[in-house]
Amino acid sequence: MATEVKVPVLGESITEATLGEWLKQPGDAVAVDEPIASLETDKVSVEVPSPVAGVMGAHAVKVGDTVEVGAMIATIDAGDGAPAAATAPQPAVTASPVPAEAAPSAPAGQQAPAAPSDNGPAALSPSVRRAVLEFGVDPATVKGTGKDGRITKEDVTAAASAKPAAAPAAAPEPAVAPSVAAASGRKEERVRMTRLRQTIAKRLKEAQNTAAMLTTFNDVDMTAVIEARAKYKDLFEKKHGVRLGFMGFFAKAACMALKDLPSVNASIEGDEIVYHDYADISVAVSGPGGLVVPVIRDADQMSVAQIEKTIGDFGRRAKDGSLKMEEMKGGTFTISNGGVFGSLMSTPIINPPQSAVLGLHRIEDRAVVVNGQIVIRPMMYLALSYDHRLIDGREAVTFLVALKNAIEDPTRILIDL
C-alpha cells in the first residue's frame, strides 16, 4: 500500500514553494522522518520528511515545479528497502522527471552516466550539477560537507581550486550545456532564478522604491578590539566553546547606540512610527542559495559570548539549509559584514520594514594622524544606510560616532557608556 507524501505547512502566510531537490530516488529505502525532498520557500529551504518507513515510490512533481501546501509530491511504498529491484519498474510515471534531472550530467564524464543521481553519496542538486559541469570536476572525487554527506557548490569550487590542472576537462562542456554556442565558441546559459533569489530581488527593489535611503560613512580604529581579541581569544574559546570574533563587539556596541537613538531601531507602519524597547539584530549570513538574514532575539540582553554562539550556529545551519522559518522573521536592525569577502566600502540596502542597516567592511592598515603623529593603524570603514523619512542625518552620524567610540574603547561596552 502506498502512502502519499504531501507538502507540509511552511509557515504563516506561505502557501507555496518550489521543489529544489529530490533527496531520494524511486526504489531507495527510506526511514520514518528521513528527508526525501528539499523545498525552496521565500526565505529558507525546508526538507520534507517521510511519514512512514518503506521504499521511495513515484515522484509526482519535477525539480523546479511550484507546489502548494498540502499537495501530494510523491508516494512511499510499504517495505524495508529489499524490494527496491521490484519497485524499479514502477517509476514509469516519473520517466520524464528523473531523466530530465540526470540527462544534462551524463555526457560530462562520458564514462559514468548514472553518477549524478545514484553513484554518489547523495543526489546532486541543480546548482551543484551546474558547478560540476562548469569546473569539469568528477563528483565521485569530491567529499561532501553538506547534510548527510551531500556535495555542496562550495565543495565543487574547492575541489576545482585544488586541481587547477583539471581545467581542460571542461572542454566537453559545450555538448552538455543547455545553451546555444556561437561559431566563436562563446555561449550563454539561462538558469531560472530560485524562489529565494526572486524574493531577495523583490524585497530589495521594494526597499529602494519605498524608503528615502541615504548612507552615511565613518571609519573606526580596530586596534583596541584586535588587541583584546588576541589577548583573550584562547581563554574565551576554552570557557565558552566558541571563537571570539568581531561581530560580538559590533552587535553589543550597536545595541548600546540603539538605546540612545531609538529612531534607528524603529520602523514606519502606515502613518505611525513604531519604537521598540528591545533590539532584535538581523545578521546577514551567506548560504548556498543566497543571502539569508536570521535574527538574534533580544541581543541587547545577551553577552558577547552568547551573541557569538548564536551567530556561529546561524552560519553553520545556513550552509546546510536547516534554518527555521521563524528564525528569519522580525528583526529591528541589521548588521551586514561584507568585510569577510574583502569589501572596502559599500552602501547596504535596508531590510524592510527596518529603517537602518549597518555595513562592516574589511580591516586594512592605513596611515592616520594620532596626536599629531602619522601612524599605521588597522582601520575599517563603517556605513549606515537609513530611511531618511524617519532618521535624520544628525541621528545617523551620532549613531556611527557612538559605535566608533565603543569599538575604539571596548571598556565602554563593559560599563555601558
Active site residues: 388, 392
Exposed / middle / buried, residue 371 (Cβ in 10 Å: 0-12, 13-18, 19+): exposed
**Distance from C-alpha of 365 to C-alpha of 378, rounded to nearest angstrom:** 4
The single-letter DSSP state of residue 79 is S
DSSP 251-318: HHHHHHHHHH-GGGG-EEETTEEE--SS--EEE-EEETTEEE--EETTGGGS-HHHHHHHHHHHHHHH
- 149 Cα distance to chain centroid: 18
Give, in order, the Cα–Cα distances in Å from 68 to each of 14, 19, 38, 58: 9, 10, 14, 18
- The 3-class SS string of 356-387 reads EEEEEEEEEEEEEEECCEEEEEEEEEEEEEEE
